[in-house]
Amino acid sequence: MTESSPWHDRAWALRPSGEAFIAGDFRPALSGQTFDKLSPLDGRALAQVASCQAEDVELAVNEARAAFDQARWSGLRPVQRKRILKKFADLILRHKEELALLETLDMGKPISESLRADVPGTARCIEWYAEAIDKVYGEVAPTGPGSLATITREPVGVVGAIVPWNFPLLMAAWKIGPILAAGNSLVLKPSEKSPLGALRLAQLAIEAGIPAGVFNVVPGFGPTAGRALALSMQVDAVAFTGSTLTGKSVMRDAADSNMKRVGLECGGKSANIIMADCPDLDAAATASAGAIFYNQGEMCSAGSRLLVHRSLKGALLERLQVLSRQYQPADPLDPATRLGALVDAAQLARVEQYVASGLEQGAMLRCGGERVREESGGYFFPPTIFDDVQPGMRIAQEEIFGPVLSVIEFETAEEAIQIANGTDYGLAAAVWSRDISLAHRTAKALRAGTVYVNCYDADDITVPFGGFKQSGMGRDKSLHAFDKYTELKTTWLELL
């Protein structure tokens, strides 16, 4: 694939808007400030993006507030909202290639993944919540004769959503779907590292018929635009996905302002446990490689700690080293590429710093460990495997967010569970065993929001996703997501 391949030609012909999207229209930041969105593929400037400040966020929130207070969206019949959101999902699919390109250029993932997973997943999420709109019922409480008490769900009002860059479209969709399906207005703050897809989504939402002011996007930096949302007195709930450190700041800001409701989807350091009776070592190796190398390892649920029984370690490592060759970083716009670019120079530096720390602390580097394709101007890092990792090492405790695997060996299942639970995080975990009792006992003992048995990263919109411990609170996906975006109202009627 050369620089003049069709995907390259299309990519560089794109002229994505970087302006804020408020009240149904693109507009520059009030201050006129912009920043350059650079491509992780080769460092070239893709767009000038509005650097929204507190005043822009206030404007967007006021528009969202007005739309909500006037019931422009929540006042529509459920079937109307369903039709509009379904049309929105259709439009996403109709613009699949354009959105996939934006996704790849925004954050560096392979175009084949953007096309296969991210864009269809985004559309499916919106469609699923659209379908749910007229299927969620209220309750009647058993209060006894003489009274009737109904329990209904009402939209919480204006929701601020703050999202990261690792799955820009999908993480946004996990918020947009249930927030809009529940009848709320939304102000979305995409990551400054990947703002382009969200802006295009908002434009498509208007085309689908979502009323102006209901879905606004304020690109900008965390400490300015993000904080302004978390601190706003007019925002009723903030839905955050990002690092644990930022999640704590969002929580403090919510408390220091109007005690808005907070949902947090934060980091992870997930353990993938291969028991001595693993039913299929080839399948476990393939899933373990995907668990850490997919999406360049920039995955909250990455299986970044591979806990393997001493008797299987050699055989598993051998397989993993072979598999890692299939994930050699290459041009993200080549459809054959499986591992793309890290999102930016800062993320590359972070990964390099953790590799250095692993070496300093005595872990053994089996493969990878050094930047590649530097001449491209992009940020490429190969699959990296550390062996002989001790559970207390930084590379076994802290989220690296890159294609770096820490292999830890264990002797007993109890030891594996103890190591698995021995971090601040609790997002996901996996156990491989042919013994259903052992697998189930282990799954119960693991303190994680999702536990995979004999698989990794199996996924569907129908199941909730979120973390125990410092991986967050609340859940995205499934009907449980409505808990974050609705208020329960009790209406008590005395039957006089």
Q: For residues 432 and 273, is the Cβ–Cβ distance under 8 A?
A: yes
Q: For residues 464 and 475, is the Cβ–Cβ distance under 8 A?
A: yes
Smallest separation, CB 72 to ligand NAD (Å): 26
Smallest separation, CB 295 to ligand NAD (Å): 10
Amino acid present at 252: R
Amino acid present at 132: A
Q: For residues 453 and 431, is the Cβ–Cβ distance under 8 A?
A: yes
Smallest separation, CB 171 to ligand NAD (Å): 5
Smallest separation, CB 111 to ligand NAD (Å): 21
State the catalytic residue, choosing from 52, 125, 278, 300: 300
Smallest separation, CB 468 to ligand NAD (Å): 11
Q: Where along the sequence are the contacts to ligand NAD (CB under 6 A)?
A: 162-166, 171, 189, 191-192, 221-223, 226-227, 230, 241-243, 246, 249-250, 265-268, 300, 399, 401, 427, 465, 467, 471-472, 476
Euclidean distance between CA atoms 288 and 315, whole angstroms? 13
Please give the C-alpha separations between residue 256 and each of 227, 251, 333, in angstroms, as whole numbers. 12, 9, 45
Q: Which is nearer to ligand NAD, 204 or 427 (CB)?
A: 427
Q: Which is nearer to ligand NAD, 222 or 303 (CB)?
A: 222
State the catalytic residue, choosing from 19, 113, 127, 265: 265
Q: Which is nearer to ligand NAD, 192 or 387 (CB)?
A: 192
Q: Which is nearer to ligand NAD, 56 or 409 (CB)?
A: 56
Q: For residues 105 and 12, is the Cβ–Cβ distance under 8 A?
A: no
φ, ψ for residue 20, nearest 5 deg? -65, 155
CB-based contacts of 269: which residues, under 8 Å, 6+ apart? Answer: 304, 305, 396, 397, 398, 399, 423, 424, 425
What angle do the packed helices 6-13 and 96-107 form, to 10 degrees?
80
52 catalytic per annotation? no
Q: Which is nearer to ligand NAD, 271 or 284 (CB)?
A: 271
Q: Which is nearer to ligand NAD, 183 or 303 (CB)?
A: 303
265 catalytic per annotation? yes
Euclidean distance between CA atoms 38 and 342, whole angstroms? 12
- Nearest one of 155, 90, 78 to 126, comparing CA atoms: 90
Smallest separation, CB 106 to ligand NAD (Å): 12
Euclidean distance between CA atoms 99 and 116, whole angstroms? 12
| Residue positions annotated with a catalytic role | 265, 300
